[in-house]
């Protein structure tokens, strides 16, 4: 059974991403693109004002970060 995903906003995901080495590359509209120089990983985070991220979208973003949900939850 998979763990319950935390309820987070795009801003909270961006803060966690910067803590593991990602930096903002560009933003167009409501989607921010983050990159990590050491391994060239790229993340696209929806930055919809005040809205929470859906669980499947969050799972995909966390997977793109190279983390598990438990590791991500510890960063929050």
> CA angle 34-40-46, nearest 5°?
20
Phi, psi of 64 (to 5 degrees): -65, -30
32-62: b (≥16 Cβ within 10 Å) or e: bebbbeeeebebebbbeeeeebeeeebeebb
pLDDT tens, N- to C-terminus, the chain (76 residues): 456 788 899 999 999 999 999 999 999 999 999 999 999 999 999 998 889 999 999 999 999 999 999 999 999 8
- Is it true that domain 10-75 has CATH number 3.30.920.30? yes
pTM: 0.88
């Amino acid at each position: 059974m998979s763990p319950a995903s935390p309820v987070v906003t795009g801003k909270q995901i961006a803060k966690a991403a910067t803590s593991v080495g990602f930096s903002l590359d560009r933003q167009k509209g409501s989607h921010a693109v983050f990159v990590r120089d050491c391994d060239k990983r790229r993340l696209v985070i929806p930055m919809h004002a005040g809205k929470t991220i859906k669980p499947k979208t969050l799972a995909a973003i966390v997977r793109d970060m190279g983390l598990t949900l438990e590791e991500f939850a510890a960063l929050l």
